[in-house]
Structure 1
Amino acid sequence: MLCTHCSAKVNFDWESVVFNTPDKNIMHEIHVTHCPNCEKLVVKLSEQKYSGIKQINWKLESETETMIYPSKSKFQNIKDIPKQYLEDYEESLMILSLSPKASAALNRRLLQSILREEFKIQKRTLAQEIAEFIDLPGIPSHITDSVDALRNIGNFAAHPTKDINTGEIVPVENGEAEWLIEVIEALFDFVFIQPKKIERRRKELNIKLEKVGKPQMKAKNKN
């Protein structure tokens, strides 16, 4: 498997500890190891669900694994990011050192999906969609500048495949894959995380206002 620290393909030698649970048909295990390539700690949790009676006719029904450390995502409010976007982003992180070309392809496609689904921008090429995005009102300049820079860093003019078939694995410029990741992270924060954070704070404040008999704050109209 790939190390979630350095993305090297390695064989882990796990040490495991089994934990009892109140549900006699569920078993939890903590697995701990160190990457043989980068020597950093890796920890995961597995949960096995069984049917039947233990040591008599137990049958494994399902097993799930969750990476505890390191977390695949840098975001604390990871649940605020839609799953279909988060999966591509996290995969791009895992394969970055192994294949910057593949990582960049995932994030070009992801960028285009966000522009089309969240901002309703759909043009023939990604460069045209970026041009329309940076002219939208209300987008912070640090985001528009970063997204716009992709057209130069990615050199879409020299590699039109990046512009039209965004998911194609093609050569990348130096630093392009890393820059794409930073752009996606900025968009995640602006489009998903900050609005949800503000909404949660508004709801908390409204509860306090209601208790003291004051008018509640209204959510701003998005249109």
Structure 2
Amino acid sequence: MVSSDNHHQEVIRLEVGAARFRNPALMCSAIRCVNPECNELYLAAKLGSGETGSRGWWEIARERQTWRLLPDSASIAQPDYIPAPLREDYYEACLIRDKSPKASATLARRCLQGMIRDFCDISRPRLIEEIRELRRLVDLGQAPKGVEVETIDAIDAVRDVGNIGAHMERDISLIIDVDPGEAQTLIELIELLFQDWYVARHKRTQRLLAVRAMAAEKQAEITAGRAEIAQQKLSAEADAVASAQDPET
């Protein structure tokens, strides 16, 4: 939640004379996370043309450029049971999304190929061949849990976009660009598959282990209870025999 207690924003009028654009101004925004376990700071800056707004405050009227200062990327911390190379590609793709969207898309493509090889156990010389094999397994109902046709279609689209950075067009005068928003779309697909594949599998495994552990515990209690009952019966039979042999009874 953002409020006056954890949010500060200030616009600085840059008195530098006639710049290339009118009335240069810099806006700084700071937000503190109110989660006591986090308490981290988000810091961003925006450069643009400034003017006095309707409330009488100096505002950014036309944005020229923005910078995310803290944290240095919008990546989401991923669990350790996701292989380190996949996490590293994901974190780097997030880190360079704005500075080099094309390179970010290429890293996203590599990360998804690594996921196919690790999670789906498919390895071919080319990504397109791995995608075809994954489609075949889905059609046969032999693909890992969480892998759907829609998932494969999305990965195939990422392959096309990632190829822009990985391979040059035959006509080198043809320049295909990737913007930060498109790179972010690929990053969000990675985050989705991390959840649908790795996190879901881990949770499923943990739940099954918990059920097995509970069943084993209950079985141990049943075994112990039966042993106790059997011991009580033996004791009772021994007492009965002893009583029958005692002439005073």
Structure 1 segments unaligned to the other structure (5+ residues): 1-29, 44-66, 164-169, 215-223
Whether contact under 8 Å (1:96, 1:103) holds in the other structure is yes
- The aligned counterpart of 1:93 is 94
Do the aligned partners of residues 212 and 36 (structure 1) sit closer, same or farther apart at CA in structure 2, a change above 3 Å counting? closer
Q: Which moved more, 1:180-189 or 1:190-199?
A: 180-189
> What does the per-residue CA deviation read over 1:104-150, in whole Å, with 9 as the maximum and x for residues that have no partner?
11111222222234334333432222222222233223312322333
The DSSP-based 3-state class of the residue aligned with 2:152 is helix
**Aligned match of 1:119:** 120
Are 2:74 and 2:95, in contact at CA under 8 Å, matched by a contact in 1?
A: no
- How far is 1:91 from its partner? 1.5
Residue by residue over 1:2-61, the C-alpha shift from the partner in whole angstroms, topping out at 9 and shown as x without a partner, is xxxxxxxxxxxxxxxxxxxxxxxxxxxx99655241698958xxxxxxxxxxxxxxxxxx
SS of 1:123's partner is coil
Q: Say yes or no: does 1:197 pair with 2:206.
A: no
Matched letter for residue 104 of structure 1? A
- SS at 1:213 equivalent: helix
For normalisation by structure 1, the TM-score amounts to 0.52
Match of 1:143 among 143, 151, 161: 151
Q: Count residues in correspondence.
A: 150
Runs of 4+ in structure 1 off by over 6 angstroms are: 38-41
**Aligned residue number for residue 35 of structure 1:** 43
Q: Per-residue deviation at 1:74?
A: 5.4
Q: Structure 2 CA distance, aligned partners of 1:171 and 1:34?
A: 33
Query: Structure 2 vs 1, CA of residues 105 and 159 (structure 1 numbering), >3 Å: closer, same or farther?
Result: closer
RMSD, aligned α-carbons: 3.8
Asked if residue 72 in structure 1 is aligned to residue 80 in structure 2, the reply is no
> Is the helix fraction higher in 1 or 2?
2
1:199 offset after TM fit, Å? Answer: 1.0
Counterpart secondary structure, 1:180: helix
Look at both structures and tell me which one has the larger radius of gyration over its CA atoms.
2
State the one-letter code of the partner of 2:189: V
Bigger relative contact order, structure 1 or 2, given CA contacts below 8 A and separation 6+?
1
Q: Distance in 2 between matches of 1:41 and 1:108?
A: 26
CA distance in 2, matches of 1:185, 1:41: 22
- The 1-side partners of 2:216 and 2:101 are apart by 52
Q: Which residue identity lines up with residue 149 of structure 1 in the other structure?
A: A
Q: Percent identity?
A: 28
Q: Which segments of 5 or more consecutive residues in structure 2 lack a partner in the other structure?
A: 1-37, 47-66, 170-174, 221-249
